[in-house]
Amino acid sequence: MRYDTLILDLGGVLINVDYGATGRHFEALGAQGFDALYSKAKQSDLFDRFETGELSAQGFRNEVRAMLGPGLSDAEIDAGWNAMLGTIPPERIDLVHRLKKRYCLLLLSNTNAIHVPAFEAIIARDLGIRDFRSLFHGAYYSCELGMRKPSADIFHYVAAKHQADAARTLFIDDSIQHVEGARRAGLHAEHLELEKEDFSGMVRRLGL
């Protein structure tokens, strides 16, 4: 298959993520039960609302406090929520540069108003990249669009913004529910199973 457009997820595909780190952070503070609220595969309505921008950062902090403990400060909640964020290995940035030369390269991430400045700061600190979005022909965050994966609407929106033919567009994500959503929207989609390979390995395997 010859693709013209590639749409990449961020967490897990490009930036390393340790979902359990956030639960461990809150447990260390004496706040139990976070893992029951949030995981890679599913999450409570709180996180859906935060990722679509329906809930502000302060609203998110207040609801986390109500669920996990009134003694948690804003800074402790932010630190815990951001604990899952790793960095992007330099070789993946090199790969992004190469793919951008061959395809219309887009980023599509379910994310939120606390994570965005946090991961952009990590990337600036570790890689010296001050304008992360400039690595792509377009970068789209759910909290700015008011919709999130796996809804077909978000895939249709991003494809339309770049006049991308769904039949010649490939989406890559490490969450199977998002891959299935992209397929329902008419895109080709590949599930990156991180237990078996990383993004660089998938690119090699697919011959991109």
Is the pLDDT at 183 greater than 90, yes or no?
yes
Peptide bond connecting 150 to the previous residue in cis, omega within 30 degrees of 0: yes
Under the banding of pLDDT at 50, 70 and 90, the label for residue 34 is confident
Segment (H or E) for 188: strand 188-191
Q: Determine the pLDDT at residue 10.
A: 97
> What is the rounded average pLDDT of the residues 148-158?
97
Region 126-130 average pLDDT: 95
Examine the pLDDT at 40 and tell me if it is beyond 60. Answer: no
Q: What is the pLDDT of residue 162?
A: 97
Average pLDDT over every residue of 112-136: 96
CATH architecture for residues 5-17+86-206:
3-Layer(aba) Sandwich (3.40)
pLDDT at 38: 65
In the structure, what pLDDT confidence band is assigned to residue 157 with cuts at 50, 70 and 90?
A: very high
What is the domain partition of the chain in residue ranges?
5-17+86-206, 19-82
Q: For domain 19-82, which architecture applies? A: Orthogonal Bundle (1.10)
Q: How does DSSP classify residue 53?
A: T
Strand-strand pairing, 138-141 and 169-173 = unpaired
* Distance (Å, whole) CA 67 – CA 33: 9
